[in-house]
């Protein structure tokens, strides 16, 4: 089943996702850190640490949003360049302002781009990363396959995404938080009635753990691994082309 941000509106998932992120872009960073109590920052740090040994020089951050994963990659790995692509102009604009403020706009490029049709040649990047993006793809396999296409042979992909805690009592506590508290705060702060209802709904429908690794295996990725974070609220997936 496809979970849409705006159930009572027309438009493909991709159009609706872009509209939703345009609508919440100004409050996105604040809500991210507030709703996760800052843990999202630690998750991104750990995701990028998976690339320490590889020392990639050219990195693609797919669904870069406001660019926090790209900034983390630059800080930890000191690559020559990070290119972030996203389908939401609103998120990219917030990201570009942030890069200027931080004085890293010569190292991090923020471009309009669709994960399912990346405008890069095959085998270009040393590493491809994505945080909280792949769950929003209209066609998950198509998006992941294109991320693989632009990755060099032997290059590494690192994906950070929400998953679902399975053990008592975290499963119950997290379910209450994400279905009741999170949509309420999200709605008031972002002024978007649907965005933070879409979030838990899309997480519930999304493959995680072994099931997600199965998708990566099917697409031809090698050495696939899953690292669950914070009782399984999120997971880091890594794989090699």
Ligand X SMILES: C[S@@+](CC[C@H](N)C(=O)[O-])C[C@H]1O[C@@H](n2cnc3c(N)ncnc32)[C@H](O)[C@@H]1O
Residue 18 sits in the site that holds ligand X (CB under 6 A): yes
- Retrieve residue 93's tokens: 């604009």
Residue 63 sits in the site that holds ligand X (CB under 6 A): yes
**Least separation in angstroms between CB 116 and ligand X:** 5
Residue 86 annotated as binding site: yes
Residue 201 sits in the site that holds ligand X (CB under 6 A): no
How far, in Å, CA of 73 to CA of 61, rounded?
9
Residue 74 sits in the site that holds ligand X (CB under 6 A): no
Residue 14 sits in the site that holds ligand X (CB under 6 A): yes
Residue 73 sits in the site that holds ligand X (CB under 6 A): no
Residue 66 annotated as binding site: yes
200, 182 Cβ separation under 8 angstroms: yes
Q: Which residue has the tokens 């997290």?
A: 174
Closest among 34, 45, 51, 87 to 68, alpha carbons compared = 45
Residue 183 sits in the site that holds ligand X (CB under 6 A): no
Residue 118 sits in the site that holds ligand X (CB under 6 A): no
**Least separation in angstroms between CB 72 and ligand X:** 9
What backbone phi and psi angles, to 5 degrees, belong to 220? 100, 5
Q: Which of residues 137-156 bind ligand X (CB under 6 A)?
A: 137, 143
Residue 224 annotated as binding site: no
Q: Which of residues 87-106 bind ligand X (CB under 6 A)?
A: 87-88, 91
Q: Which of 6, 21, 198, 221 binds ligand X (CB under 6 A)?
A: 21
CA distances from 92 to 20, 28, 106, 108 (A): 13, 12, 15, 12
User: H/E element holding 150?
Assistant: helix 140-150
Neighbours of 112 (CB within 10 A): 12
Q: Given the rule CB under 6 A, which of 17-25, 164-172, 183-191, 233-241 is the region that contacts ligand X?
A: 17-25
How far, in Å, CA of 28 to CA of 38, rounded?
13
**Least separation in angstroms between CB 155 and ligand X:** 19
- Three-state DSSP at 170 gives helix
How far, in Å, CA of 224 to CA of 239, rounded?
4
Q: Which of 136, 164, 235, 238 binds ligand X (CB under 6 A)?
A: 136
Residues that bind ligand X (CB under 6 A): 14, 17-18, 21, 32, 62-65, 68-69, 85-88, 91, 114-116, 131-133, 136-137, 143
């Amino acid at each position: 089943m496809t979970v849409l941000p705006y159930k009572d509106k027309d438009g493909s998932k991709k159009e609706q996702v872009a509209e939703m992120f345009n609508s919440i872009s100004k409050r996105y960073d604040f809500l991210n850190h507030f709703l996760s109590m800052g843990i999202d920052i630690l998750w991104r740090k750990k995701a990028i640490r998976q690339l320490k040994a590889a020392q990639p020089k050219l990195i693609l951050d797919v669904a870069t949003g406001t660019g926090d994963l790209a900034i983390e990659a630059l800080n930890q790995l000191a690559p020559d360049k990070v290119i972030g692509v996203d389908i939401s102009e609103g998120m990219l604009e917030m990201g570009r302002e942030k890069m200027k403020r931080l004085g890293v706009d010569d190292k991090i490029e923020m471009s309009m781009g669709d994960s399912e049709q990346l405008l890069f040649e095959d085998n270009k990047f040393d590493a491809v990363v994505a945080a909280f993006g792949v769950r929003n793809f209209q066609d998950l396999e198509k998006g992941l396959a294109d991320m693989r296409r632009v990755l060099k042979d032997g290059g590494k992909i690192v994906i950070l995404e929400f998953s679902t805690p399975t053990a008592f009592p975290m499963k119950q506590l997290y379910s209450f938080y994400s279905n009741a508290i999170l949509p309420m705060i999200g709605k008031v702060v972002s002024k978007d009635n649907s965005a933070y209802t879409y979030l838990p709904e899309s997480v519930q429908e999304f493959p995680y753990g072994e099931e997600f690794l199965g998708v990566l295996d099917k697409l031809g990725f090698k050495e696939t691994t899953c690292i669950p974070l914070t009782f399984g609220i999120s997971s880091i997936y890594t794989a090699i082309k």
